[in-house]
Structure 1
Amino acid sequence: MSLLSNAALRATSGPLILNSGIGKLKMDEGTYGYLKGMAATGVPAVEKLSDQQFGKALAFGETALGAALLLPIVPAKLAGLGLTVFSAGMLTMYFGNDEMTQDDGIRPTQEGTGLAKDFIMLGAGLALLFSSKK
């Protein structure tokens, strides 16, 4: 993968995730609870965390991943691994919640459109992960 294509994948997904993580740093506990409930549809073990623990971990994780994608010192394969795992986790919510998909189980409903972007991020993560750059 060329340096330009690597940078393009990182520069499009990095700011999106970084902004999302920073936005979650100051959310209230009720919002963390809502997000935890959504996450639990894909990863049931999340229910064991308190709303505050989950929310802070999510905010920190997204912020760290967004920063890693934007920092050129982080190897492409490592950034790609992080993006792949993150987007795959997001897709478990997409497929685990019937309200996110239409009757065919694939196409997003209005509620699922926000999570459907994670298919694109999964592709970007896999491209970085399997790139020839180290």
Structure 2
Amino acid sequence: MKIFARAYQWPPRLAAGAYILNSGLSKAQADRDTAIGVHGMAATAFPFLGEHDPETFVGLFSKAEIAVGAALLLPTVPSLVAGAALTAFAGGLLGFYLKMPGLREEGSLRPSQQGIGIAKDIWLLGIGLGLVLDELTQRSR
């Protein structure tokens, strides 16, 4: 089995991968009320998501989280691929943070008390970009 990550890439891959995989597995067990709540928040930030059934939406979101988490945890997935997947996923989470009313202080990027749990996902974007940039700069050497 070929390993596609350097030793220093493993701590952020493991931390982010375990966190996201756990979140996806938790959503896979979501009941209808939880699905309605998650879907409602997503549809508030991204209205086009309102067209989807809440349980279908949460099921697909769960699968996406599981896939990203697994990509980060599996040593056979290249860091460029895992990092790109994490960057895209984190970008969506931060888009939600920016669009969802009440998550930021008025006229600011600073999180409100309700937004702290989402704003912290900036570290996922940092890890994803770090993996991508590391791989791209390694290739140019």
Q: Is the pair's TM-score, using the shorter chain for normalization, greater than 0.5?
A: yes
Q: CA separation in 2, counterparts of 1:40 and 1:131?
A: 35
The worse-fitting range, judged by mean Cα deviation, of 35-44 and 57-66 is 35-44
Q: CA separation in 2, counterparts of 1:63 and 1:93?
A: 19
**Are 2:10 and 1:7 equivalent residues in the alignment?**
yes
What is the TM-score with the length of structure 2 in the denominator?
Answer: 0.87
For the residue of structure 2 that corresponds to 1:131, the secondary structure is: helix
**Are 2:93 and 1:90 equivalent residues in the alignment?**
yes
Q: Which runs of 5+ in 2 are unaligned?
A: none
Q: Any residues of structure 2 matched to 1:68-87 within 5 Å, and which?
A: 68-87=71-90
Partner of 2:46: 43
Q: CA separation in 2, counterparts of 1:53 and 1:121?
A: 25
Q: CA separation in 2, counterparts of 1:68 and 1:5?
A: 17
Q: CA separation in 2, counterparts of 1:44 and 1:83?
A: 23
The worse-fitting range, judged by mean Cα deviation, of 79-88 and 39-48 is 39-48
Partner of 1:115: 118
Deviation at 1:7, TM superposition (A): 0.8
Q: Which runs of 5+ in 1 are unaligned?
A: none
What is the TM-score with the length of structure 1 in the denominator?
Answer: 0.91
Q: CA separation in 2, counterparts of 1:66 and 1:28?
A: 22
Deviation at 1:104, TM superposition (A): 3.5
C-alpha deviations, 1:38-87, integer Å up to 9, x for none?
11233222111101110100111111111111001001011011101111
Partner of 1:55: 58
Q: CA separation in 2, counterparts of 1:27 and 1:12?
A: 23
Number of aligned residue pairs: give it: 133
Partner of 2:108: 105
Q: Which of 9, 27, 30 is the aligned partner of 1:27?
A: 30
**Are 2:134 and 1:131 equivalent residues in the alignment?**
yes
Identity over aligned residues, as a percent? 37
